[in-house]
Chain A
Amino acid sequence: MRVRRRAAGTDAARRSRARPGTASALVRAEARGVPWRLPAAAWGAGLVLAVAVALLPEVGAEQRLGLLRVVALCGAVGVAFALDDPARHTTRVAPVGRPLRQGLRLALLLPSAAVWWAVVVAVGRGVDPGPPALALTVEAAALAALAVALAAGGIRFSGTTGPGAAVAGALLALFTVAMVLPEGRTPFVPLGDARWTSVHLGWCVALAVGAVAWPLLAREPCGSRR
């Protein structure tokens, strides 16, 4: 048992010291592996909703904010599928570690997500008064970071090849719970609320926690079969 563990440990150490050339060689493979259709569909739906919000005349500022938060949720649901990999059980024997493979996927996907969100914000700016773009961006980024961390956790602690659907469900549950919390406690603060700044600092913390959680959860467990 001890021998096997040590062997697995050295294996992981060797993988994590992959040469820079390996990453560039892997980019194309990972780009093919990302299930692009799912994020694209989720983001497309989000964009349609954002355009509808901008075009509908009777939507008030408060309601617009709520609907743009749903758009941010669409973005996070799309990101949730970033780490889905039906070939997971065959690629685990590749000579590079999981952090590099997941990192490459995120490096490919997140810029697209950022561009999509920039378009959403630009569409939202088309109406007057525009939404609080910076605060909404922090919320959207925190939701996306949470999605990535949950997906990495799903892979780390189970043998699933596609954690995306479960992570999307968890995100929806969290979003709905946050939405129905009483006014003084919800993280989705209404416009002009006294808690606006403090709650958004909380969102920043959530973003930082999500960003730190991913590299921790992306590590391969030593001595495990997963």
Chain B
Amino acid sequence: MTLLARPPSATAPSAPRGAAPVTALACAEARLLLRHPLVVLALAGQIALLTRRALTGSAYPVLHVIDRETQYGPLLIGLATLIAANAALLRSHRHGTDAQFGVLVVPEWRRTSAHLLSVIPVALVVAALVAGEFTRDALRPGAVGHASVPELATGPAVVALLGVAGVVLGRATRSPLAAPLAVVGLLALLLGLATASGGGRWLAPIAFDEGDGALPSGLVARPAGWHLLYLTGLAALLGAGAVRFGGGRTRLVSVVASLAAAATLAGAVGQARGTGESVALARAQALSDPSDQQVCVLRGVVTYCAFPEFLPWVDEWERVVGEVLTGPGTPIGDHAFTVRQRVSVESGTGATGGEAPRVSPGEVTASTAWGGDLDLGFAAGVAREVVVHDVTTAGVYCDARAVLITWLAVNGVPDGPARFERTLERQHAGGGAILLSSGAPVALRERETAVVRALFDRPAAEVGQRVRTHWAELTAPGTSTDRAARLLGVGAPAETAADREWGCA
């Protein structure tokens, strides 16, 4: 009878205290969430995409552009998580077992907490993917710029927010339509706000900023930190709201809800303020006259001026300049000029407006992007400086100079002829070609294109010898394309109707 001496105090069923049951349920739900078909599909798609990018992506990433590009994949994973978390919460309703859960000692609000916590592992997996993606790019030898941690953390935060939104939707309504409609709404929001400007677009999970080039990181000024605060605050607020709604009226929940509300409000206000006056001024200056913000280095006879972050690319520019200047056709001389980096008007972060850039004579423009076929356009800019000493002409040269500029540019880059053809293929079939040089584009008509193509079939050394012999005549403004073709030993086709539509310089 000694067994009865101890009073049966712990046998009465009461709600178990402590975090153990919630943690156990959260772990189980997290495993199920990570195995949900849509989450698996989204994660697998993202991994496949990242693998492809790691193998074939640009060798010259700008890290403060790459950081915000890590958010697109997580957004889609977040949509999948929203549906999966909602389905997990409604599982008992679908299977008609809500009544059974009602007699469990773990109350509804604690089960809701577990569902909310189950989203965290998905966010951690996404964080690992983002970290891997960014590390791969940061380790590339040509990487420049400075990434922002809030931008990198936005992807995982979006996943957490959308997962929490799925749970909250499930608590708010049992309709199986709620989650799909929420995703449809988000898709519409993203499609509709993709091109919107102003502070309001930051209310969406991610704010798109796409542009042709990059600004220096100091001029980006995206309110990423405020946005991260807004996202995490909103996730915590929604979660605390759902727990409170389910009966969890503890002090901790109240404190979390109040803090989250304050954080959401602060984030929303902070991100809507827009960029400051000083940043706008600095941007306008970077666009019109960037020399004050740049560092110049002299290599041989050429001066290279770049925004400090982009200095590692000077070696790349120097390689192309060297190839053009010492190519088979260029006469040896000490023609001094400057390569200046410029941001394009369409650079991301909604930085539009300001004066159009004033390009001074003797300055070749390099952009804030590099890699791929961009060196061909840059080589065209250098060749134009060498041939006509004037980089400000926007028109097309309809004479020997166009042939010469293009031939020098194509010979200044590795595998030039094939890449010239690729550039032409990408352009619409309107005849002629535009070599995208930053600054004024180098364009040529169908007729000059045909002559250049004919020159590719001849040995470069032989053409180079002829170019050097007739350099003065080929660079003179009046020399016709027919004459150039004769001097270089090839034939020139007649002028086409499309050719006559170009405005000649």
Asked if A and B are interacting partners, one says: yes
A-side residues, CB < 8 A to B, are 38, 41-42, 45, 49, 56, 58-60, 63, 66-67, 70, 73-74, 77, 81, 162, 164-165, 168-169, 171-173, 175-177, 179-180
What residue in chain B is nearest A172 (Cβ atoms)? Answer: B183
Give the CA-CA distance A175 to B184 in the complex, in Å. Answer: 10
Find out whether the CB atom of A49 lies under 8 angstroms from the CB atom of B188.
yes
With A63-B192, A169-B38, A169-B83 as known contacts, state yes or no: A70 contacts B184, CB within 8 Å.
yes
Find out whether the CB atom of A60 lies under 8 angstroms from the CB atom of B195.
yes
Determine how close the nearest CB of chain B comes to the CB of A88; give it in whole angstroms: 13
Using an 8 Å CB-CB cutoff, how does the interface string of B192-219 with A read, 1 for contact, 0 for none?
Answer: 1011100000000000000000000000
The segment out of B173-181, B268-276, B461-469, B484-492 that lies at the interface is: B173-181
Question: Which residues of the other chain, A, contact B312 by a CB distance below 8 angstroms?
Answer: none
The reply to whether the CB of B94 lies closer than 8 angstroms to some CB of chain A is yes
With A38-B176, A168-B180, A173-B41 as known contacts, state yes or no: A63 contacts B83, CB within 8 Å.
no
A-B contact pairs, 13 of them (CB 8 A): A63-B192, A66-B191, A70-B184, A70-B187, A70-B188, A74-B181, A74-B184, A77-B181, A165-B176, A169-B37, A169-B179, A172-B183, A176-B76
Give the CA-CA distance A169 to B183 in the complex, in Å. Answer: 9
The reply to whether the CB of B185 lies closer than 8 angstroms to some CB of chain A is yes
Question: Which residues of the other chain, B, contact A173 by a CB distance below 8 angstroms?
Answer: 38, 41-42, 80
Question: Which residues of the other chain, A, contact B180 by a CB distance below 8 angstroms?
Answer: 42, 77, 165, 168-169, 171-172
Find out whether the CB atom of B177 lies under 8 angstroms from the CB atom of A42.
yes
Give the CA-CA distance A69 to B188 in the complex, in Å. Answer: 9
Find out whether the CB atom of B176 lies under 8 angstroms from the CB atom of A168.
yes
B-side residues, CB < 8 A to A, are 37-38, 41-42, 45, 76, 79-80, 83, 87, 94, 175-177, 179-181, 183-185, 187-188, 191-192, 194-196
Main SS at interface, chain A: helix
Which of A49, A63, A173 has the most chain B CB atoms inside 10 A of its CB?
A173
Give the CA-CA distance A42 to B42 in the complex, in Å. Answer: 24
Question: Which residues of the other chain, B, contact A77 by a CB distance below 8 angstroms?
Answer: 177, 180-181, 184
Find out whether the CB atom of A41 lies under 8 angstroms from the CB atom of B192.
no
Q: Pick the residue among B45, B175, B191 that contacts A38 (CB under 8 A).
A: B175
Find out whether the CB atom of A59 lies under 8 angstroms from the CB atom of B192.
yes
Find out whether the CB atom of A176 lies under 8 angstroms from the CB atom of B79.
yes
Find out whether the CB atom of B45 lies under 8 angstroms from the CB atom of A73.
no
